[in-house]
Amino acid sequence: MRRALFLASVSVLLSACAHAPPGPEAASQRSTLPGVTRTLLETLEADGALAGAYVVDARTGEPLFQHRENVRLLPASTMKVVSTSAALSALGADFRFVTPVSLEGSQVGGLFLGDIVAQASGDPSLGSWRFPETALACDRIAEAFQAHGIHQWRGNVRIAGTDGVDGLMGPGWAWDDAAYAYSAAPTPFVFRENVVDLALARAPGSTCADAPAVQWTPTFATLSAVVRVDVNADRTNLSCMRGSAGVSCTWRSPAGGPCPQAAAVKLAVEAPQDLFAACVDDALARHGVTRLPMSLEAPTPPLPPVPVPLVELTSPPLSELVRATNKESLNLYAERLGMRFARERTGQEGYAALRSALGAELLRRGVPPKDLRPVDGSGLSRYNLATPRGMARVILTSLQEPYGQALVDSLPVLSVDGTLAGRRTTQATAGRIRAKTGTLTGQKCFVGVAERPNDLEHPRVVFALMLGNMDEGTKPNANEAFDLFSTALVELPLR
């Protein structure tokens, strides 16, 4: 019944397409994966879109469907498959980032005079709320202070190991995205994913013209923001821009419309080391360690400073970091994992090193530059180019290596989790597609693996569907196109 409804929906959406031949033979072709997909893509192209698709057997690499498989488009966030698979290949699924924290100074009884120094490791999860072991990083430092018998200290929190490393926005990133969490700079030292949360609220009885109350999370965040209200907008939204003095936000509401009472946004911070220092201060205070003013005179004679290891802050295994990266499409994680891969292969970090390392890795897998030109690790860059053939080959070659299952497990599952949670599909297709999605303005990509339980010859396939020049008027839209394509991948015969 569900398959009949699916075929009916294909017929309705593609009824305007004039490319299929008439008669019973045409109906038979439309009941196959090639027939449905080719008609779908030709319909999109007739509406001015660009479309390419490639489907291969997951075991043998045998091509099963091809449509403009060599057309180069923006891969968007499907680039995360490239960077995370490269990191898994070079470091292994069990790799963990380790951020050493030490004391550089002198301890006199319960008084420590000196600095707390964290060595930057590039760990994208340090201080993140996503993992129990990372969310309590500052509390672990405070507990280590207590274990050393320190009740008072005078000094600073410093970060070491960040000199000479490129940590700015990637080439081809949009400047007006810089204020938002999804464009947080992949600095060598990352803390709390380099973001804070801004919440706005209006008191009961307030009008839209009244200034809202501003609340930061975490409460020790020091980012400054200026919020203005616009009561004559055509829609309700909260938008922010980064400036020299911090962040400027505008809270819009339509004239005469309902007045929004609350809004929230995640904002990028430019100095994660300051956020980390504030976090350590807060944790030490909560654990009863008093910070003394810098004007306090040191005891005489002063003791020579001796660096003492305090604690090591360890990330979850790489497999879990990759899973978070791809399930939730985390740009910062993808960039930092890519940079760590570049350092492993070239001894350097930075976007030039990343391009060189990824290019060499792709050639090792038999993916030439004409099929995939990587510029960053997340897909935010508008300079990345990829073909469906190149993207499918990244998945295919990963399946042949020891980390392959970890990569597949990291991909969102259709209608189950990640960026594919809640997607409408048939009961037979739900849970049988694992795919990374990618979205930029006018671009939509899907790369992954499909299980075909009724096909003994090709029970598992790798696919890439890439769409470009899409707009709000394109019919079917990108998500509808993927829904039709994914159902065909699982339920329809290949011939």
Asked if 99 contacts 121 with a C-beta cutoff of 8 angstroms, the reply is yes
Tokens 């803390």 identify what position? 191
Q: How large a percentage of the chain has pLDDT more than 90?
A: 77
The SS3 call for residue 153 is: strand
CA dist 26 → 16, 493, 494 (Å): 15, 15, 15
Distance of CA 284 to the CA centre of its chain: 32
pTM as predicted: 0.92
Flag whether pLDDT at 205 surpasses 50. yes
Q: Closest Cα partner for 431 from 445, 419, 417?
A: 417
- The pLDDT tens digits of the residues spanning 352-378 come to 999 999 999 999 999 999 999 999 999
- The pLDDT tens digits of the residues spanning 37-88 come to 999 999 999 999 999 999 999 999 999 999 999 999 999 999 999 999 999 9
DSSP for residue 273: H
Rama region for 288: left / alpha / beta (φ>0; ψ in -120 to 50; rest): left
pLDDT for the residue numbered 16: 41
How far is it, in rounded angstroms, from Cα 432 to Cα 415?
A: 9
Flag whether pLDDT at 303 surpasses 90. no
DSSP per-residue letters across 375-432: --SSS--TT-EE-HHHHHHHHHHHHTSTTHHHHHHHSPBTTTSGGGTT----TTTTTS
Residue 484 dihedral angles phi and psi, to the nearest 5°: -65, -45
How far is it, in rounded angstroms, from Cα 261 to Cα 203?
A: 8
Out of 52-56, 312-316, 423-427, which region has the weakest mean confidence (pLDDT)? 423-427
Flag whether pLDDT at 21 surpasses 70. no
- The pLDDT tens digits of the residues spanning 431-480 come to 999 999 999 999 999 999 999 999 999 999 999 999 999 988 888 999 99
CA dist 466 → 78, 166, 350 (Å): 10, 31, 28
CA dist 314 → 98, 127, 405 (Å): 5, 11, 24
How far is it, in rounded angstroms, from Cα 257 to Cα 170?
A: 40
Flag whether pLDDT at 11 surpasses 50. no
Distance of CA 479 to the CA centre of its chain: 20
